[in-house]
Amino acid sequence: MNQIGFPCQVTSAEVAREKTLGGAISLCVKAAGYEPKQVQQALKVDKGQYSRWETGAEGIVWPKYEALMDFCGNDAPLLWMVHSRGFDIGSLRRLETETERALRHAQERITQLEQERAIERRVFAEVITGRTPTPLREQETTR
């Protein structure tokens, strides 16, 4: 499975209300707006196997969990497992992806360049008008 579904949120309260892992799997599918048949087709599993996942009669290998969560765009089963082991799922946070990190660095660099450009414009304007450029330290304290 290499298509990741549109992200959809499931709240920690929704996950905590589920009594079983099968319930969390159902929540995962419902939150994404899919019918079980659509998920079965996407994951290439038959109706019986999917039903056994929901009832807990059959386990699921990790790659199938990943495929399910990627397809549905949420991590309800994973969050349910973490919650069932006694962890506070409300305090979990995702790690930054490479793309998010690159975007953050680019935004920081843009902000820095904008600040430098504003200083250059101010100094240039002061030079053109014949005023003595304000020392940088005074500029910082007068803001």
pLDDT digits (tens, 9 = 90+) for 69-108: 999 999 999 999 999 999 988 888 777 888 888 999 999 9
Question: Measuring CA to CA, which residue among 48, 22, 26 is closest to residue 36?
Answer: 26
CA distances from 111 to 60, 98, 115, 138 (A): 47, 20, 6, 21
pLDDT of residue 3: 47
Low-confidence ranges of the chain (pLDDT < 70): 1-6, 133-143
